[in-house]
Amino acid sequence: MSPQAQEEPVVIPAPALDLDETGNTTATAVFAGGCFWGVQGVFQRVKGVTNAVSGYSGGEAATATYDRTNRGDTGHAETVEITYDPQIVSFGELMHIYFSVAHNPTQLNYQGPDRGTQYRSTIFPLNEDQRRVAQAYIEQLDATGLFEGPIVTTLEPFKAFYPAEQYHQDFLTLNPDWPYIVVHDLPKIAALEEIFPDKFRAEPVLVGMLPAS
């Protein structure tokens, strides 16, 4: 299977270890997995997600723009900040979707046709519990042999999240006929519905207009 073609979903087991978020009604996860259009579009269609914002993490505020990040030398990755209700969907369930349908975790510093460290597969844990659960899941998945190669997803210290430009927000929903979306991202939405029907919602939760900075 060619690197460009393999953004196909992989049916994988759920995490054996998950966070205990009993009593919490809101929590945040920060995932990077290639172009944020598709990753955002997937998580906007997951029940329990209350917001999913495209942006940049890993670098500094001064370089948190698309034009600058696109050079691949800023430390930033195209990232999605996911706000969710742990009483409806857990951190582990979000990771299950992330590794199964949102991206290909075996592609090092690229996803499909997109090349560069800004497209790397990365989880930015917000605390030690997230880091521990994410590391355990990566080890669990590697042991299954279900992927075409070893998982290259990194766990990087979270410094900050910077929302991307307005024109990147809700891009999949607003541009369903965009050729890149048709080829690379709409299949992810179809896979989400097929593999996770109990988690799928047809009407996405959208960002809308970002607050003025």
Would you name the residues annotated as active-site residues? 35
b/e sequence 80-90, b meaning 16+ C-beta within 10 Å: bbbbbbbeebb
As a whole number of angstroms, the distance between CA 97 and CA 100 comes to: 5
Contacts of 209 (CB under 8 A, 6+ apart): 166
* DSSP string across 126-171: SSHHHHHHHHHHHHHHHHHT-SSS----EE-----EEEPPGGGTTH
Contacts of 8 (CB under 8 A, 6+ apart): 1, 187, 191
Sign of the alpha-carbon dihedral angle for 66, 67, 68, 73: positive
- In the block, residue with structure tokens 């460290």: 117
3-state secondary structure of 2: coil
